[in-house]
Amino acid sequence: MGAVATKHETLTAPAQLPSGALHAVPASRLNKPKGRPDTVAVGTIVWLASELMFFAALFAAYFWTRSVTTERAGDGMSLWDASTQHLDITFASINTAILVSSSITCQLGANAAEAGRVSGSWLNPLKWGLRQAFIVTFILGSIFVAGQVWEYFTLFGEGYTISTNVYWSAFFLATGFHGIHVFGGLVAFLFVLARTYMTRTHTHEQTVTAHVVSYYWHFVDVIWILLFGVIYFLR
């Protein structure tokens, strides 16, 4: 095995090639850039800021339509009051807990990547490697997506779709776009996991990739917590 980039410290390229390797790992992939932050990490943060603006627009549209429909209802039951009665808060709470738990396991994976620990013990979560933590995170995220799909089909069976009225349009748009982002995160986890099996040397580049995927996953978790509070509790 070659050298392992740990804690984002500067390393030199391995003196000996890993068994079966044709070329040495470039030092630029092993080392942290000196005197400047990682461009991938900075770019990810900037991109997430733009995604935040996108979800802010969805929240604004949700609150605006809620305000208009409630005002038109007067003293009677508003569209929001009538529609939110069909939401399963208990099920959504369990699904939310699963997604929040996945954020914890994701961070364990990022910490393991920082320490250069690709694989570890399944029996002790604190000793998990990048693989174990990201596999568990992928499973939890998949359960969340499956739960959201199940909720959608339950609502479809009751006759509520995105075209039913403005409330359900706002509901399916907000939760649907979030679900797409979660699915994108699951694909990213598969990409990171595949790299751990395809490479012999854990590099600084792979550590940065694990970190930016964790940034993204924490972002979608926080967005869902806000959506969950607004949609399921703020009636």
CATH code assigned at 122: 1.20.120.80
Give the whole-angstrom CA distance, residue 12 versus residue 30.
7
Q: Does residue 213 belong to any structural domain of this protein?
A: yes
What is the reported pLDDT for 144? 97
Between CA 98 and CA 105 the distance in angstroms is 11
pTM for this prediction: 0.80
Q: Domain for residue 28, yes or no?
A: no
CA–CA separation, 37 vs 18, rounded Å?
29
pLDDT band at 192 (very low <50, low <70, confident <90, very high): very high
Domain containing 139 equals 39-233
How many other C-beta atoms can be found within 10 angstroms of the C-beta atom of residue 90? 9
- Residue 55 is assigned to a structural domain of this protein: yes
Helix (H), strand (E) at residue 38 = none
24 is a domain residue: no
As for how many domains the chain has, the answer is 1
Domain assignment of residue 189, yes or no: yes
- Mean pLDDT, range 168-176, rounded to an integer: 92
Residue range 18-75, pLDDT digits in tens: 555 545 555 555 555 565 566 777 788 888 888 999 899 988 888 888 887 776 655 5
